[in-house]
Amino acid sequence: MKQILMIAAIIIVMTAGLASSGPGDSIKSIDLPDVKTVLADGPGKDTSEKFCNLCHSLDYITMQPRFSRVQWTGTVNKMIKTFGAPISDEDAKVIINYLATAYGNGK
């Protein structure tokens, strides 16, 4: 219980410090470029874009090594079973086939 109270006190103190910025403080920001990742054409591209992009950017696909079909199957199943991606079995097969074909190593 003491630990919870200590953590709560630290959060309150830190938050109060952030809220007490003075009139001389200014907000700084930067504009990031709009980077659009385009996946390789092929059957299943649209399904892959639709579902994979729900949780992460598509460059996560293009940055992966050339996985085997077994590795892509494991990756898609991890997204569904571990991270809760709302992908049906039928759509998973389409995505796995697309990834193995467009971004696979041919094994």
Round to whole Å and give the CA distance between 62 and 45.
Answer: 13
State both tokens at 73.
């199957």
**For the chain, what is the domain count?**
1
Q: Is the pTM of this model over 0.85?
A: no
Q: What is the per-residue pLDDT across 78-91, written as a single tens digit (0 to 9) for each?
A: 999 999 999 999 99
Q: What is the per-residue pLDDT across 36-48, written as a single tens digit (0 to 9) for each?
A: 899 999 999 999 9
Decide which of 52 and 8 is more confident: 52
CATH number of the CATH domain containing 66: 1.10.760.10
Q: Is residue 100 part of a domain?
A: yes
Range of the domain at 37: 33-107
Q: Look at residue 21 and tell me whether its pLDDT is greater than 60.
A: no
Q: Any idea what the Cα angle at residue 88 is, between residues 64 and 74, rounded to 5°? A: 35
Q: Is residue 92 part of a domain?
A: yes
